[in-house]
């Protein structure tokens, strides 16, 4: 299991964002939302996700960036294709990742959720390293914040019609099987 200290993963590369605020009083994380992102769309690697989530993305760098450079968004974490974990926002804070959303009748999912981005697209398969890292992060969140395994969902599920990620390429059955077998994975998870 990965260690969390002061609401930060101790093994993650930390890239602090200002795109967060306090959760409503008495609100704690109880939902994990899985997203995907690639910048430019369909391209992996590079500094652009870090730049978007820290408000430093240059609109002139790529034609697509002109559409998004003004956004003030950030997930709590990103898991890159090779399994590297990057954390932008401490888990006890309200990261701006879900937008207009609803889960089991409760709106404004940012208030009570943790957002994890996978570097990817709706169509391309995610890597084994990403599934292993996501499993390790998820297990740590379950242990630290008493998240229930049943309260893990995709961005498309909390913002239907508006969002499609993590898309049909995300293997939910495989991910759930890894969560249920984490006792056997601990030493093999790449972080």
Give the catalytic positions in this structure: 117
What's the N-to-C CA distance of the chain in angstroms?
10
* Distance separating alpha carbons of residues 148 and 142, to the nearest angstrom: 6
Cβ neighbourhood burial of 173 (10 Å; 0-12, 13-18, 19+):
exposed
| Residues contacting residue 157 through CB under 8 Å, at least 6 positions apart | 103
Closest CA to 112 of 123, 101, 121: 101
State the Cα–Cα distance between residues 30 and 158, nearest whole angstrom.
14
Q: What is the rounded (10 degree) CA torsion for 8, 12, 13, 19?
A: -40
């Amino acid at each position: 299991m990965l260690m969390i200290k002061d609401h930060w993963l101790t093994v993650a590369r930390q890239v602090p964002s200002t795109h967060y605020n306090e959760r409503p009083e008495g609100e704690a994380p109880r939902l994990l939302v899985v997203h995907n992102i690639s910048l430019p769309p369909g391209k992996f690697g590079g500094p652009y996700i870090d730049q978007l989530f820290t408000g430093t993305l240059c609109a002139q760098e790529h034609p697509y960036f002109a559409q998004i450079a003004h956004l003030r968004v950030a997930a709590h974490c990103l898991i890159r294709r090779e399994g590297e974990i990057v954390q932008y926002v401490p888990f006890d804070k309200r990261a701006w990742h879900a937008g207009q959303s609803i889960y089991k009748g409760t709106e404004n999912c940012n208030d009570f959720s943790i957002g994890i981005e996978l570097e990817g697209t709706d169509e391309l398969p995610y890597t084994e390293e990403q599934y292993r890292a996501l499993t390790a992060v998820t297990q740590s969140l379950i242990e630290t914040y008493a998240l229930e395994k049943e309260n893990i969902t995709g961005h498309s599920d909390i913002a239907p019609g508006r969002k499609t990620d993590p898309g049909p390429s995300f293997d939910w059955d495989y991910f759930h099987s890894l969560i249920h077998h984490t006792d056997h994975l601990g030493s093999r998870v790449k972080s």
